[in-house]
Structure 1
Amino acid sequence: MRLAGLLALGLSASALVACSDDGADAARTFANDLATALEQRDLAPVAVDGDAAAYAALVAPLEAVPVEVEVAGVEADGDSAEVELAWQWRSGEQPWAYATTAELARDGDDWSLRWQPSVLEPSLVEGETLALARLAPRRGEILGAAKQPIVTERDVIRYGLDKTKIEPGQVAGSARRIAQALDIEVAPFVKRAKAAGEKAFVEAITLRAEDAKQSVPASYENIPGAVGIGTTRPLAPTREFALPLLGSVGEATAEIVKESEGAVQAGDLVGLSGLQARYDEQLRGVPGVRISANPADADADADADAETDAAEPRVLHESDPVDGEPLTLTLDVGLQREAEQILAGVGPASAIVAIDPASGDIVAAASGPGSGGQNTATFGRYAPGSTMKVVSSLALLRSGLRPDSMVQCPATLTVDGKSFKNYSDYPASSLGRIPLREAVAQSCNTAFVGQYDTLSDDAMTDAAAALGLGVDHDLGFPAYFGQVPPPAGPTEKAADLIGQGKVLASPMAMATVAASVRAGHAVLPQLVVGHEVTQQDPAEPLSAAEAKQLRALMRGVVTSGSGRFLADLGGDLGAKTGTAEYGEPNAAGDLATHAWMIAQRPGLAVAVFVADGQSGSATAGPLLEAFLTAAR
């Protein structure tokens, strides 16, 4: 027994004192057993004068609400006793606490409870029943840069069958016609409609208000019992907007209800995937509850006015809902829309990721429709191809080369039995002995492969870390930073230099590389505002001189290399194209290729990826150009 809790209910310590005879001791023992039985919602373990099952039926609507019942005092007088009970229902943020009196009667050495509804709640009378209603909180918004609403309450229409508007014999036919009109599976909806209560609304589908005009035929309103109920739901600007990142909201599954340990109940709206699921506790808030006493059936002889009065339920307790807290992201709503529109017509998996180099803010992270709902943008794992030459250039600069150092660029080069070549339309004028800056600008594979034996085994791993690649962090959302492991042998070491071998990266990781070149240090991207991350310092951080050289090398790609088509955008823009072979050769012996392109300029770093493309410049390049133009 917790004395502090009893005093909070206004019960004095003196109330605990009772007669000291054997009957009073037995009454106290019975009272403690009674409190335990009441907590367990079953009076079978104690003797009851009356309907012992009435209590269980009465509290059944409160099954999901935890309760504590304690004995606050026992006063025995001969063959009768009064027990003061302290109740506390943990409902919502405001517990329902009160005291009741239970009357006991003694027959010989045995005590029993004189059951009456007031044992449960002091104002309850015979025939009344309890009802619990959950009061839904407002789900927290998901906001973008400058507090722009991303996920907020938006108008929707719930379409379905209102069984109160039709006769029982019409249910199956109306349900079938509704399902056909709304283009949903017929049999499951008809089955649900038949199983629902006679006064039920059986939901078929919920549509955005703007989509409903295009999706619901005019004939729908002629179906008996078919209704559309306007309401709101927490939604993004469009169905596709950052969906792989944001995730979805829907009714709690049985598994979610079970794992919540009472915090979530069937019918509650919860995050089912993505950020909506990871931050669900913050976003969903705390439901309120209303506990009411419903009146007994009105007496048949009562006058009409009395019957009307008796029909009104009494509110016994109400706990206000606590609205969810917003989640703020760094996404720029306008840039995210532009990225998604640019990718809308791309068939293979694709992505555009844009980062502000100064802050590390991810301002766009779009996965194209070809990704099939997967988060290609921040969690995809692909060979980065020649975009990796930005990292390789840093490793070579650290080995002693300079941008104007001469390197050999043959048409083909064999390393430990493995033949490497340049891309099919590599300019013949840039073969032979050329400066490193030209090898970067024209993306000469063999020039980089030929330098493999000048680098230590950890040179590429360290250079990657200096540019934010290959070092994992928990950013509060699914994020893959890539891998640049030490090579297993000469061939793998050579392949790593051109973004093949075992090197992998996500579009976000390669956007981070570009951002780091622009910022002059390893950039740590962020999407969830307020999520704290401890950045690991690279073993050899990027120096200001190195960053300046890398920016110049990337600038050369635009002014005289494979990214010349971007030159008309003007400004201090640097870029790098990339094509990576993957999979098994086709009948002609050719491999499929990933297409990449990264770019950086003041205030913006971007990575564009297409899983299957002709080349970086031909496939990813136009998408990058379109995004950079939109982001001016």
Structure 2
Amino acid sequence: MTNRRRVPRGTWTRWRRAASFATCGALVASLTTGCWAEPSAMPAVRDFLIAWQVGNYEAAADRTVGVDRSQVEDALSRVRQQLDAASLRLSLGTGVPGSDVDQIVKKDDEADARFTVKIDLGENGQPWEYPGLMHLKRVGGKWKVIWSPSIIHTKLKPGQRLAVVTEVPERAPITDTEGHPILNQVNAYMVGVYPGQLADPQKTLDLLAKQAKIDGGRRLDAERLLGRVRSAPPQDFLPLLTLQVPENNQLIQRLNRVPGIQFQGVTSPIAPAYAPELVGNLGPATADRLQQVGAPYQPGDTIGVSGIQFLQQRRLAGTPTVRVVAQDETGKNTEELRSWPGQKPQEVQTTLNPGYQRRTDLALKGLRYPASMVVVRPSTGEIFAVSNHGTEGRNLAFEGSYPPGLTFGIVSAEALFSKAGVNQATKTTCPANATVGNMTFTNKARRDGTFATHFAASCKTTLAQLSNRLDAQTLLKEAGLFGVGQNWGLTVPAFTGSVPVPTNDAEKAAAMIGEGNVRVSPLTMALVAAAAQNGTWKPPYVLKGISKPGQTPPPQSLPPEPVADLKQVLTRTAKHGNARGARVTGDTVGVAAPVTYKDGDRTRTISWFVGSSGDRAFAIAVEGLVYTPEIAATFLRGR
């Protein structure tokens, strides 16, 4: 570092003024027009860039010559709008580390200044950064920027504007286990605008957002829509909504009265052919949904809003290709300035089997209560079918939370067979009442017999009395072998079940018969039936080739002898007991049970069937008192 002798401030100022006067005197003597001229163009360049960046377009225009200043103000103010930019930053120099290019090159009364433009297009990616160049000249002793559209971008010509072109790829299909699309082609309208034809874009989009209340009140973000409209090519149709008909006819009629709104009829694969609660639906990108799916999706896009369509949005939709172009108002003479390639959409294949799906839908059809059903393949864990009837769009087949009642006896029986020395032929009793701890359990009394006969006869008192042969931790451990309450690594939301640790003998007895605080979903119990049939619990899956890395648990084998006894018990139940109405094939086994419980101030009843037939296991849960073996028989017969 060079050592400098500190000069008193007043001395330095007097010396600098003296030098200036001396220089100007010489210039005046020679009639040089540069007298009193700014020696450097740097302040003019700096002030112009700062004013542009902070949005003081009037101040930036004051630093220019060549055209009316209002034209400069207008051109600079439109840059952010035309790009729908989240931010714009300007800096001197090329922005290239180690570059030896001078920031400002001056020759007599003219100069060229290099600067860098960095624009955030709001896509959560790298900002668009490019070099800029402006030409200056000294006018009346002061440096001025010679205005040209090329200051905004070096390739921008007079009469051109910037525009953002978004090319959205065709959405990939969701397919069944054989690779056939699950979605039906339906008639719909694309609702949008021609940006250049809008007399008042703000008014049009405010009215659109006000009228188009989606899914019980979700609103479109009018401000963000306005940004997209201003940045889009003026002459191109810009879709803002896709509305299926006839479901949205009333909304379409309301939107038809909004000035500037246009409609284009399309036929698109939108509606799920079956299992809509699992497959999901498409809808508009409202503000809250955009927070969930994130960039690069924008207001006006049609995105997955539920089910697999939402969960696999990025895979199914890919990502759009975004191009910044320079074009005239007619859209001609378009020149690409920068592009960001998108990602190709990918098909999502499910394990759903259309044949089994038709059977489950048929089995639940016509029920006057909400009902859910799941079919799985015991040998693999594949989910063959998912049906929800009257559940108001909720996938209760996966996410329902119900007490399982005596269907949980499958777990309790296996625990007794494995850990308590009980088997299907063990002599047991079935009294009308059995008190365990401070709780009394009741059912119709049966004469003395075996565990298998009393299980088939829905004897809660039998299991309650046998609960003293198991400790609480053993019961929970055996439930875990059936996957109850475990992490399945499933790629869609599901309730795996809950068996809280019993704090006393009464709670343990209640847990043995699937009451108290035990809760399961139909999928939980379908997997319980699958494990009883196969001898090994397999983690379920519904999407092929898509899993949560490191989260899918291994299969869990059950002891062979207890499983053999358990199959005998379930076979007897289907032949002679509470599930006999479902035995339409010789290999059908299972258990049927209603359970009544308190849900807050309400008393509710869930009717269950849990069983298997060959390499298919299934569970049915109905939110009301019905005879579930008939529903199971309809499924097994397929009619």
Q: TM-score range by the shorter chain?
A: 0.7 to 0.9
- Pick from 362, 368, 382: which aligns with 2:402? 382
Corresponding residue for 1:499?
A: 514
Q: How many residues align?
A: 549
* Match status 1:485 vs 2:497: no
Secondary structure of the corresponding residue to residue 378 of structure 2: coil
Q: Distance between the aligned counterparts of 2:615 and 2:608, measured in 1?
A: 21
Structure 1 residues 347 and 326: alpha-carbon distance in aligned structure 2, compared to 1, 3 A threshold = same
* Match status 1:543 vs 2:555: no
1:244–1:367 CA contact under 8 A, matched in 2: yes
RMSD: 4.4
1:343-382 mapped onto 2 (5 Å cutoff): 343-369=364-390, 371-382=391-402
Q: Distance between the aligned counterparts of 1:606 and 1:563, measured in 2?
A: 13
- Pick from 420, 424, 439: which aligns with 1:403? 424
Corresponding residue for 1:598?
A: 610
Structure 1 residues 417 and 84: alpha-carbon distance in aligned structure 2, compared to 1, 3 A threshold = closer
Q: Distance between the aligned counterparts of 1:491 and 1:366, measured in 2?
A: 36
User: What letter is aligned with 1:625?
Assistant: A
User: What letter is aligned with 1:157?
Assistant: A
- Pick from 275, 292, 301: which aligns with 2:308? 275
- Pick from 170, 177, 181: which aligns with 1:149? 181
TM-score computed with the length of structure 2 as normaliser: 0.74
Q: Which range moves more in the overlay, 413-422 or 386-395?
A: 413-422
Structure 1 residues 457 and 334: alpha-carbon distance in aligned structure 2, compared to 1, 3 A threshold = same
2:44–2:63 CA contact under 8 A, matched in 1: no
Q: Report how far residue 499 of structure 1 moved.
A: 0.9
Post-superposition Cα deviations, 1:574-614, rounded to whole Å, max 9, x if no partner, equal 1111211112799xxx9642100111133111001101114
1:549-568 mapped onto 2 (5 Å cutoff): 549-567=565-583
Q: Distance between the aligned counterparts of 2:296 and 2:571, measured in 1?
A: 55
1:512–1:605 CA contact under 8 A, matched in 2: yes
Secondary structure of the corresponding residue to residue 118 of structure 1: helix
Q: Report how far residue 451 of structure 1 moved.
A: 0.9
Q: Report how far residue 534 of structure 1 moved.
A: 3.3
- Pick from 412, 425, 432: which aligns with 2:433? 412
Q: Distance between the aligned counterparts of 1:202 and 1:319, measured in 2?
A: 21
2:85–2:120 CA contact under 8 A, matched in 1: no
Corresponding residue for 1:175?
A: none
2:582–2:630 CA contact under 8 A, matched in 1: no
Q: Report how far residue 81 of structure 1 moved.
A: 1.4
Q: Report how far residue 62 of structure 1 moved.
A: 0.6
Post-superposition Cα deviations, 1:355-385, rounded to whole Å, max 9, x if no partner, equal 111111111121112x121221001000001
Corresponding residue for 2:202?
A: none
Instruction: Could you tell me which runs of 5 or more consecutive residues in structure 2 were left unpaired when the two chains were aligned.
Output: 1-36, 95-100, 200-214, 220-225
Q: Distance between the aligned counterparts of 1:25 and 1:328, measured in 2?
A: 70
Q: Report how far residue 117 of structure 1 moved.
A: 0.4
Secondary structure of the corresponding residue to residue 451 of structure 1: helix
Q: Distance between the aligned counterparts of 2:532 and 2:278, measured in 1?
A: 26
1:246–1:275 CA contact under 8 A, matched in 2: yes
Corresponding residue for 2:137?
A: 105
Instruction: Could you tell me which runs of 5 or more consecutive residues in structure 1 were left unpaired when the two chains were aligned.
Output: 1-22, 169-183, 189-194, 297-309
Q: Report how far residue 44 of structure 1 moved.
A: 6.0
Q: Report how far residue 352 of structure 1 moved.
A: 0.5
Q: Report how far residue 68 of structure 1 moved.
A: 6.8
Secondary structure of the corresponding residue to residue 103 of structure 1: strand
Q: Distance between the aligned counterparts of 1:67 and 1:159, measured in 2?
A: 33
1:502-541 mapped onto 2 (5 Å cutoff): 502-529=517-544, 530-532=546-548, 534-536=551-553
Corresponding residue for 1:244?
A: 277
* Match status 1:207 vs 2:207: no
User: What letter is aligned with 1:374?
Assistant: R
- Pick from 625, 634, 637: which aligns with 1:613? 625
1:465–1:522 CA contact under 8 A, matched in 2: no
Structure 1 residues 251 and 207: alpha-carbon distance in aligned structure 2, compared to 1, 3 A threshold = closer
1:461–1:470 CA contact under 8 A, matched in 2: no
Q: Report how far residue 65 of structure 1 moved.
A: 7.1
Structure 1 residues 291 and 510: alpha-carbon distance in aligned structure 2, compared to 1, 3 A threshold = same
* Match status 1:449 vs 2:464: yes
1:411–1:446 CA contact under 8 A, matched in 2: yes
2:580–2:629 CA contact under 8 A, matched in 1: no
Corresponding residue for 1:79?
A: 109
- Pick from 130, 138, 157: which aligns with 2:162? 130
1:353–1:364 CA contact under 8 A, matched in 2: yes
Q: Report how far residue 84 of structure 1 moved.
A: 3.7
Q: Which range moves more in the overlay, 520-529 or 402-411?
A: 520-529
Once the two structures are aligned, what percentage of the paired residues are identical? 25
* Match status 1:263 vs 2:296: yes
Structure 1 residues 27 and 343: alpha-carbon distance in aligned structure 2, compared to 1, 3 A threshold = farther
Q: Distance between the aligned counterparts of 1:261 and 1:374, measured in 2?
A: 24
* Match status 1:622 vs 2:633: no
TM-score computed with the length of structure 1 as normaliser: 0.75
User: What letter is aligned with 1:621?
Assistant: P
User: What letter is aligned with 2:265?
Assistant: G
Secondary structure of the corresponding residue to residue 600 of structure 1: strand
Post-superposition Cα deviations, 1:24-53, rounded to whole Å, max 9, x if no partner, equal 995467657766666666656756214341
Structure 1 residues 395 and 582: alpha-carbon distance in aligned structure 2, compared to 1, 3 A threshold = same
Q: Report how far residue 277 of structure 1 moved.
A: 2.3
Secondary structure of the corresponding residue to residue 547 of structure 2: coil
1:409–1:446 CA contact under 8 A, matched in 2: yes
Q: Distance between the aligned counterparts of 2:520 and 2:500, measured in 1?
A: 12
2:38–2:141 CA contact under 8 A, matched in 1: no
Q: Report how far residue 273 of structure 1 moved.
A: 2.5
Corresponding residue for 1:173?
A: none
Q: Report how far residue 555 of structure 1 moved.
A: 1.2
* Match status 1:230 vs 2:268: no
Q: Distance between the aligned counterparts of 1:342 and 1:268, measured in 2?
A: 37
Q: Report how far residue 506 of structure 1 moved.
A: 0.3
Q: Distance between the aligned counterparts of 2:48 and 2:359, measured in 1?
A: 67
